[in-house]
Amino acid sequence: MSYFDDIYARVFGKTSNQPTRILVDEIIQRSQSFVTQFNRWKQTDICTDFLNDLWQSYFWRKQGVEKDPQLVLLESNYSNGFAIDYEAEFGKRNFHYLFDYLADQVKKLDYRLVVSKRTMQEKGSVVESKEMHYLKPKNGFIEPIDQKYGNIQIEFITENDEPKRIKLIANSYPDRRYKQAENFEELALYIFTTKNKN
């Protein structure tokens, strides 16, 4: 397995033979304090600069150029996305806010939040916590159905209380009942460059 294949498998998932034990499986409920601080963060230069850096990294990664902060891209016919590994310079709170921010941006594109949940499992000496937002387009039943960018899953993963990565993956349907999915790069551009004014 090449170095890139190893990174790709680690980031986007490969089944592990290590036994796991589920410790927590619950719906995410944000406190009022978290929501207030999150809404303040969205209006800061810290947020703006962070998003701009991520867009620059995404843009240049698409051109085959590595740039900090580093992103790993998932690109296939029916699944597209990116993963961002945590770096200490991001700050734990900023990184966690980014997870909810991505979901907020997707919702503004006529998506509905289907579920937000948190699971925690023990994998040997590692306790992995995964927060997940799952969103689907608000579409009708007239065919061909507009699937927009496909169904979108956003994950925030920590190991032993330390942030590890955020992943966003859009999965589209190849079914003839659906219109062809829109270009994922347009979604990335919107997410990273359109500031939330709410």
The CA-CA-CA angle for residues 152, 156, 158, to 5°, reads: 155
Q: Running DSSP on this structure, what letter comes out for residue 114?
A: E
- For the chain, what percent of residues have pLDDT higher than 90? 76
Closest CA to 105 of 47, 180, 26, 34: 47
List the chain domain ranges: 22-193
Does the pTM surpass 0.85? The reply is yes
Q: For residue range 149-190, what is the model confidence (pLDDT) as tens digits?
A: 999 999 999 999 999 999 999 999 988 899 999 999 999 999
pLDDT tens digits, 60-101: 999 999 888 989 999 998 999 999 999 999 999 999 999 999
d(CA 111, CA 152): 9
